[in-house]
Homo-oligomer: A and B are copies of this chain.
Amino acid sequence: MTAFRYRVTINRKRGLSDPEGATTRKALQDLGFISVESVSFGRILDLEVDSSDAETAQAEVEAMCAKLLANPVMEDFTIEAVS
Please count how many residues in chain A sit with their CB below 8 Å of the partner chain's CB atoms: 33
- Kindly report which residue of chain B lies nearest to residue A3, judged by CB atoms: B37
* A31: B residues at CB distance < 8 A: 64, 67-68
Q: Is A80 an interface residue (CB 8 A)?
A: no
Give the number of times this chain occurs in the complex, counting copies: 2
Interface flag for A75 (CB, 8 Å): no
A74 at the interface (CB under 8 A from B): no
Given contacts A68-B27, A68-B28, A69-B24, contact A60 B45 (CB under 8 A): no
**A50-B33 contact in complex given A44-B9, A44-B41, C-beta closer than 8 Å:** no
Decide if A17 is an interface residue (CB 8 Å cutoff). no
Bound complex: CA A73 to CA B27 (Å)? 20
Question: A62: shortest Cβ distance to chain B, in Å?
Answer: 11
